[in-house]
A and B are shown apart, each in its own frame.
Chain A
């Protein structure tokens, strides 16, 4: 069955450094992959979408890569700030969209 794996351990990063989160998937060939941010008690908010024919996508301090051979996406936040602390979710799918468990990111001041 389709499976998405994110590092479920919390990730602690010093303010100003780059945070890198990983999303691996199996038994799937998605046309695109998405990343979302979720704050406690709130619904997820869309951040970035990257298509299978795109290797990299950027939006302000965010960068996403997509390696369909490795079946992996990396999500980077550069110049991280305490306000970036949240849970980040990876999602795959065309009509049926499934999510990974997310990675909790803590940016330490």
Chain B
């Protein structure tokens, strides 16, 4: 079945460690996104990419990094520079906006910093 897969579902990290969250899609979508969600809050955009080898910062990019080496993959690295990384991370993909902007989301990765 086509879809978007995030892993791991749960992740624990010690302070000072970098961690990478995986996001893979087999929908042949061009655009991919990373959002962060804190309890009781909406989604805040971290990074997005419209095409391979290109990506743009969202509203809260500091302390995060991404790569887009393949169309189907958009991993997110939470670096030690991110001061408050404990959150629920959501990856999404979509066709290019001129076709439809509908986002397809993964099931999320919950990161806890110990």
- Residues on A lying within 8 angstroms of B by beta carbon are 6, 31-32, 34, 36, 41-46, 49, 89, 91, 93-102
A44 touches B105 (CB 8 A): yes
Task: For the complex formed, measure the closest distance between the CB of B32 and the CB atoms of chain A, giving whole angstroms.
Answer: 11
B42 touches A102 (CB 8 A): yes
- B27-64 residues at the A interface, CB under 8 angstroms: 31, 33, 35, 41-45, 48, 50, 56, 58-59
Taking A95-B50, A97-B33, A99-B35 as contacts, is the C-beta distance between A44 and B43 under 8 angstroms? yes
**Interface residue range, chain B:** 20 to 34
The answer for the CA separation of A100 and B31 in the assembled complex, in Å, is: 20
- Residues on B lying within 8 angstroms of A by beta carbon are 31, 33, 35, 41-45, 48, 50, 56, 58-59, 88, 90, 92, 94, 97, 100-108
27 residue pairs A–B, Cβ–Cβ below 8 Å: A6-B42, A34-B102, A41-B108, A42-B107, A43-B90, A44-B103, A44-B105, A45-B105, A49-B102, A89-B42, A89-B43, A91-B103, A95-B31, A95-B56, A95-B97, A96-B45, A97-B33, A97-B48, A97-B94, A97-B101, A99-B35, A99-B42, A99-B43, A99-B44, A100-B42, A101-B41, A102-B42
